[in-house]
Homo-oligomer: A and B are copies of this chain.
């Protein structure tokens, strides 16, 4: 086993399929967990507290912020979203791969806090597929879709800041790509100092 867990960032533009790929990857495994974000926005009917998000009051969220108990946070449309620190550190101490599904801005903050973080950018296989996915999602007007495409393009320009790129041509391939990356990262020398020392010291 490696000396400790691995922190993994997964980002990708809207329409890249992050949720589907992540669910496929996590299905049935116990050595990797996704970090559940905290939010002040209202819970939707189909959402479960502690699964989709930790749903909290703005007052509670701001208290956590002031106590430095959030890894990163951002505000969208008047609601706060962020990653609580404690569960991440606990899962890492258990040797798990902890996956943060976060935006590009959040990724920048995490890299500063955890220099050994492994960052993965999920890409659609082509511009056509991206557009179809954004169109298929709901019946929004042309203007909204074009706006989403422009944002996706801007986000993909930041792919170079990530260690790895995984192409989501099929959910299976993309999930296998994430698994391969984590399995390889577990073999990084700096994550195996203990076992190397153990062999050397017994010669």
Contact of A162 among B127, B157, B181, B189 (CB under 8 A): B189
User: In the complex, what residue of chain B is closest to A201 when comparing beta carbons?
Assistant: B127
Query: Which of A153, A180, A202 neighbours the largest number of chain B CB atoms within 10 Å of its CB?
Result: A180
- Residues A147-167 near B (CB distance < 8 A): 149, 152-153, 156-157, 159-160, 162-167
Main secondary structure of the interface of A (DSSP, over half): helix
Number of this chain's copies in the assembly equals 2
- Interface presence of A144 (CB below 8 A): no
> How many A residues face the partner with a CB closer than 8 A?
42
Tell me whether B202 and A128 are in contact (CB under 8 A): yes
CA distance A189 to B121 in the complex (A): 8
Tell me whether A127 and B199 are in contact (CB under 8 A): yes
Q: Which B residues lie within 8 Å of A199 (CB)?
A: 123-127, 130, 156
User: In the complex, what residue of chain B is closest to A191 when comparing beta carbons?
Assistant: B165
Q: Which B residues lie within 8 Å of A189 (CB)?
A: 121, 159-160, 162-165
